[in-house]
């Protein structure tokens, strides 16, 4: 039985996956991923939402009510050592995305606010890239639209590469209580890609009282929805894992709480096994 938190991808066709707030049973995060062949066009209205367009692979142009952003995207794979191209679009805008070559595009949405905002190119060169963790907990992070970027109302977007045999979002952490500065409430989606693509990874979503405890085997292009609880990820030997995170909640601030049962390893990393 497929977990209710797992949105399986369409292996062929234009729309890869579509997670709406109604489907997820929450209030803030929406996520779609599209395959666009060269010359194909996707037109949409942002309505009451703000939108972050992330060019995962390929090259596109984006037109937003008179503004045009051309030649966006250099990557042939999400595993290329390059940041993505991205565009932020505020509410009540008409958006036209045209593929200049075959492309994969993520559409990340959350409710907008009443502040006047402009469509803007998010500078790839200015995206903060960092290494997180150590040993088999090492992963590589690119902040696309982080919480310290003041140009959005609710939306946060980040991508992570976890090498084969490594863990990620680990030690397990959660952000489901609005108790700043110790923790904030944020819904979250994980859009997973595998290299090679026939691979798989594992993600667990669980709460302290285990009223929610789901383990998902994820394949290429699948989405895991995290409404609450801890949500660690493991990439098996032989398969590198990429994921794109979209987060949003009542306030645009990311503060998480580690699972106390596993937090010890931050101060005392496990030693290598000795025969």
* CATH code of the domain in which 234 resides: 2.60.120.10
Helix count (H) and strand count (E) of the chain?
A: 2, 21
Tell me whether residue 259 is exposed, middle or buried, using C-beta atoms within 10 angstroms of its C-beta: 0 to 12, 13 to 18, 19 or more. Answer: middle
User: For 60-108, how does the pLDDT look when each residue is reduced to its tens digit (9 = 90+)?
Assistant: 999 998 899 999 999 999 999 999 999 999 999 999 999 999 999 999 9
User: Which residues lie closer than 8 Å to 194 by C-beta, 6 or more apart?
Assistant: 200, 201, 219, 220, 239, 240, 241, 242
| Number of domains into which the chain is organized | 1
- Classify residue 271: in a domain, yes or no: no
pLDDT of residue 275: 55
Q: Which residues are CB-neighbours of 66 under 8 A, at least 6 positions away?
A: none
192 forms beta bridges with 243
Determine, yes or no, domain membership for 273.
no
Residue 112 domain-assigned (yes or no): yes
The Cα–Cα gap between 60 and 35 comes to 11
- Tens of pLDDT along the chain (275 residues) come to 789 999 999 999 999 999 999 999 999 999 999 999 999 999 999 999 999 999 999 999 999 988 999 999 999 999 999 999 999 999 999 999 999 999 999 999 999 999 999 999 999 999 999 999 999 999 999 999 999 999 999 999 999 999 999 999 999 999 999 999 999 999 999 999 999 999 999 999 999 999 999 999 999 999 999 999 999 999 999 999 999 999 999 999 999 999 999 999 888 766 555 55
Q: Is residue 4 within 8 Å of 224, Cβ to Cβ?
A: no
Q: Alpha-carbon distance 123 to 75, whole Å?
A: 15
Domain contains 155: yes
Residue 95 domain-assigned?
Answer: yes
The answer to the question of residue 166 being in a domain is: yes
Residue 74, domain member (yes or no): yes
CB atoms within 10 A of CB 205: 25
Residue (of 19, 11, 26) closest to 229 by Cα position: 26
Per-residue model confidence (pLDDT) at position 272: 59
Of 142, 134, 130, 113, nearest to 252 (Cα)?
113
Which residues lie closer than 8 Å to 261 by C-beta, 6 or more apart? none
Parent domain of 260:
6-266
33 within domain boundaries: yes
């Amino acid at each position: 039985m497929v977990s209710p938190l797992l949105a399986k991808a369409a292996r062929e066709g234009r729309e890869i996956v579509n997670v709406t707030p109604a489907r997820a049973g929450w209030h803030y995060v929406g996520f779609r991923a599209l395959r666009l062949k060269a010359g194909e066009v996707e037109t949409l209205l942002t309505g009451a939402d703000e939108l972050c367009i992330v060019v995962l692979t390929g090259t596109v142009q984006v037109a937003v009510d008179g503004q045009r952003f051309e030649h966006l995207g250099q990557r042939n794979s999400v595993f290329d050592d390059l940041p993505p191209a991205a565009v932020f679009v505020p509410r009540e805008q008409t958006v036209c995305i045209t593929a200049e070559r075959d492309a994969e595009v993520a559409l990340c949405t959350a409710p907008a606010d009443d502040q006047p905002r402009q469509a803007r190119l998010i500078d790839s060169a200015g995206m903060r890239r960092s290494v997180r963790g150590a040993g088999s907990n090492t992963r590589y992070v690119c902040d696309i639209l982080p919480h310290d970027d003041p140009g959005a109302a609710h939306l946060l977007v980040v991508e992570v590469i976890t090498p084969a045999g490594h863990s990620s979002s680990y030690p397990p952490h959660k952000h489901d209580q609005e108790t700043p500065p110790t923790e904030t409430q944020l819904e979250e989606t994980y859009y997973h890609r595998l290299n090679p693509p026939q691979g798989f990874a594992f993600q667990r979503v669980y709460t302290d009282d285990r009223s929610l405890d789901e383990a998902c085997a994820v394949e290429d292009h699948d989405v895991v929805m995290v409404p609450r609880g801890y949500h660690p990820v493991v990439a098996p030997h032989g398969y590198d894992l990429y994921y794109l995170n979209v987060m949003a909640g009542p306030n645009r601030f990311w503060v998480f709480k580690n699972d106390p049962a596993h937090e010890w390893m931050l101060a005392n990393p496990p030693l290598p096994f000795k025969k």
